[in-house]
Copies of this chain bind each other. A is one copy, B any other.
Amino acid sequence: MSQPPDSRPPDARLADLAVLIARNRPRFRTATEFVEAAMREAILEGVLPAGAPLRQEDLAAAFGVSRMPVREALRQLEARALVEFHPHRGAVVAEISAEDSADIGAIRAALEPAALRLSLPHLTADDLALAAELIAEMDAETDPGRMGELNRRFHMTLYSRAGRPRLLALVEQHLSAADRYLRFQFAALGYHPRSQDEHHALLAACRAGDADAACGIVVRHVIQAGEQLSAFLDGRG
């Protein structure tokens, strides 16, 4: 859904949270894991908007647990730069800014070509078919949330054979972080078909096994997205 920074009452957001909560409850071994995963998703999806205060008591009540699992989850999210702690004042969802957007862009522009270069020689026909399918799904998709997810899966599919779990985790983490920013752009400017052209070109280069061309496309893709976002954020800064 579109999200002009919270024009909705807080209890409406809590209701959205409740949906996320009930759905995934039994899949985790400990409450901390569960809360951490749910809150990460909520932040990345924009259910919890940037700057939103995170009252431990309220969150505990929403999740049906005590404050302690909430506290541990918040600490993990802090280490991932998704929430900020202010001692004795509480935690808030990490703010977004043009500078941070550029920062994430620089990181992606460095990591993703590396992942692609490692992965490309080992990509299977199935991988490429899946990537093509994801592009097609994106053509039909209008919801920004689903769109971000498809975009992420498309990129990760191409990187998936890199055989470097730690590198891939970093890439996915920053792809998700970028998604969080992209939501703004989608909501305000609509979807960019130009991005789809680049996806097609990228897939073609991967099919041809042309690592240099593919990496070039990825870098341009990332940098251009970053600049667009920075300009957009500066404009409303």
Contacts and interface: CB of A to CB of B under 8 A. Distances in A.
Interface of A: 29-30, 32-33, 68, 71-73, 75-81, 87, 100, 102-104, 106-107, 109-111, 113-114, 118, 164-167, 170
B87 A29 contact: yes
Interface of chain A: mostly helix, strand, loop or mixed: helix
A38 to B, nearest CB: 16
A164 B87 contact: no
B32 A100 contact: no
Contact of A75 (B32, B87, B114, B118): B32
B29 A81 contact: no
A106 B118 contact: yes
A78 to B, nearest CB: 7
A25 to B, nearest CB: 13
Contacts of A167: 103, 106-107, 110
Contacts of A80: 79
A111 B87 CA distance: 32
Contacts of A109: 114
A111 B166 CA distance: 14
A170 B87 contact: no
